[in-house]
Amino acid sequence: MSLPKDFIWGFATASYQIEGGAKSDGRGPSIWDSFCAIPGKIADGSSGDVACDSYNRTKEDIDLLKSIGAKAYRFSLSWSRIIPLGGRNDPINQKGLDHYVKFVDDLLEAGITPFITLYHWDLPDELDKRYGGLLNRVEFPLDFENYARVVYKAIPKCKNWITFNEPWCSSILGYSTGYFAPGHTSDRSKSAVGDSSREPWTAGHNLLVAHGRAVKVYREEFKPTQGGEIGITLNGDATYPWDPEDPADVEACDRKIEFAISWFADPIYFGEYPASMRKQLGDRLPTFTPEEVALVKGSNDFYGMNHYTANYIKHKTGTPPDDDFLGNLETLFYSKSGECIGEETESFWLRPNAQGFRDLLNWLSKRYGYPKIYVTENGTSIKGESDLPLEKIVEDDFRVKYFDDYVKAMAKASSEDGVNVQGYFAWSLMDNFEWAEGYQTRFGVTYVDYEDQQKRHPKKSAKSLKPLFDSVIKTE
């Protein structure tokens, strides 16, 4: 059980979840600023206006990373901090750009490798108002390409780029369920706008084209001199059949992954959407033009994998409703025989199952020709963590065990199964704004005291990762 000697590990965060500084130094509003202002959208009525105040605490965050032995740090940029209105003809906010340039310099000086995500769900609000944001097949990819070019040019020292974080979430949660910004859904009790039967598939398509454009620009204009690499980060859960004796449940397990991951990965690796999606969605799933295929196919130097949990999958019969996005199936925590997938956490959707992680690493590797994989997020919340006193919160043995189990499952996939996994980022460096769940749910290896000036208190899990990786990374 081992990982390659040049394996890189660290922690991950996202701009809107940690930065705060919502109006500092010329930053414009994002769709999340607007979404948080709508009563009832965020569980505790909070926002990312202050969050962990990381915009003003970059030195503190770097010192924290150093103190717990991190080799790398994955963070995202706020597009509206760099181009407040977002568009290719809109002015650049030099102060916002300079902030990230200095942050990368400071990370490198501290011996920490930066991994930059260009987009972690926080579209400049103006682009949503101007032309419908992700729903615009022409304007959005061009504006994203321009934003990417501005950033590549300003930060040549970064060698590791991710275009989009979890386009599934942007598409499904943003345009089908309405759970995330901009909150579109066919459910008129939740939103006055949205078509859950079509909009998520349109948004997903446009994200893929925008990704392809940003990769093309990097490869043609910057990679020859900068020598970096670029990819996309996709999210998906592991699957087990509810009834292993039922071929329809076994088949539904693959279909669940196809509707979550292969929706984006198949066009990137094969140039087309999965047949299972085309069969169910018909003309609601857009068709790639030859130009779009040329942009998207082959546009990954590595596969970014976000992974947290697993489910038992039970097939459904009959015609799926128009707003179905799972693939005509249901996801369950208990199997037909009564086995439980894993222990409860604070997150309704998350239960630990490390074997599922190893299985999914293998599934992806076989389907996509054993690409280089970076696990760009992995971690857990803990049931009731926010209700505990500080001295108990920092003794987060549940999270320590989660990381131990998952990292060892990954090491086995690497050394025993031939999976080409080269990096791992624990989610998250610190407790932060957990989107629609607000601040009640904590994923951090560091406790953030929101009541006491955002003070950081490393938990046991923060200190557990260096010895864990030291024990599994080859020395020769």
**Catalytic residue annotation:** 166, 377
Burial of 246 (0-12, 13-18, 19+ CB in 10 A): middle
Reported as half-sphere exposure (CB side, CA atoms, 13 A), residue 202 has a value of 19
> Are the C-beta atoms of 232 and 163 separated by less than 8 Å?
yes
Name every residue whose Cβ is closer than 8 Å to that of residue 354 and which is 6 or more positions away in sequence. Answer: 402, 405, 406, 408, 409
For 77, the token pair is 């940029």
Beta bridge partners of 232: 303
Among all chains, which residue has been given the structure tokens 């390659």? 4
User: What Å distances lie between residue 226 and 108, 222, 237, 382, CA to CA?
Assistant: 15, 6, 34, 41
Radius of gyration of the chain (CA): 21
For 48, the token pair is 């990312």
For 223, the token pair is 């990679």
Report the alpha-carbon distance of residue 81 to residue 100 in Å, rounded.
Answer: 10
Q: Which uninterrupted H or E stretch holds 97?
A: helix 94-109
- Tell me, what DSSP letter sits at residue 54? G
Sheet containing strand 329-332, strands side by side: 238-241, 310-315, 329-332
Among residues 135, 25, 34, which one has the least CA distance to residue 84?
Answer: 25
Question: How far does CA 215 lie from the centroid of its chain?
Answer: 18
Four-residue CA torsion sign, 42, 449, 425, 83: positive
- Tell me, what DSSP letter sits at residue 334? B
> Are the C-beta atoms of 395 and 451 separated by less than 8 Å?
no
First CA to last CA across the chain, in angstroms?
Answer: 14
Among residues 397, 285, 402, 388, which one has the least CA distance to residue 354?
Answer: 402
> How many C-beta neighbours within 10 Å does residue 334 have?
11
